[in-house]
Amino acid sequence: MSEAGAIVRFFRVLRGDAVRRLFALLVLSLGAGAFVTEYTRLPVDDIQVGGVASRSIRAVTSFPFVDWEATLERQRSERGRALCGGREKGREWARSWE
C-alpha cells in the first residue's frame, strides 16, 4: 500500500499549480531560446582572396579583414618609392626584399 500511496502522491504533486507553472516557464524559455539562436553553417571549403565563390557569402556581423600579403606588398612598394624616388625603382627595391 505504501508504494501505491507514493505513486498517488507523486501524481498529485505533478498536477499542482506550481509544477504546471514551472513546466510552462521551461517550455517558454526553450522556445524563446530556439527563436533567438542564430543557426549558421561554417564554410566547408577554403575561400581565397580574389577567387571566384561558388555561392554567395554574407557576413552576419561586421569584422575587420586585413589582407596581410597585399598590405605588406603595398608598404614595401611605397617604402621603395620613397627611398628610390620613383615607382619603377620602388617596385624593383620591393622585389629585392622578397
Q: What pLDDT, in 10s, does the model give residues 11-25?
A: 777 788 888 888 999
Q: Does the pLDDT value for residue 86 go beyond 60?
A: no
Q: Does the pLDDT value for residue 96 go beyond 70?
A: no
Return the C-alpha cell found at 9: 502522491
pLDDT of residue 74: 86
pLDDT of residue 90: 58
This prediction has a pTM of: 0.36
Q: Does the pLDDT value for residue 84 go beyond 60?
A: yes
Return the C-alpha cell found at 51: 577567387
Q: What pLDDT, in 10s, does the model give residues 18-46?
A: 888 889 999 999 999 988 887 776 666 67
In order of 25, 26, 35, 37, 39, the CA distances from 30 in angstroms are: 9, 6, 9, 10, 15
Ramachandran assignment for 47, one of left (phi > 0), alpha (psi -120 to 50 degrees), beta (any other): beta
Calculate mean pLDDT across residues 51-55. 78
Of the candidate ranges 11-25, 58-72, 78-92, the one whose mean pLDDT is the lowest: 78-92
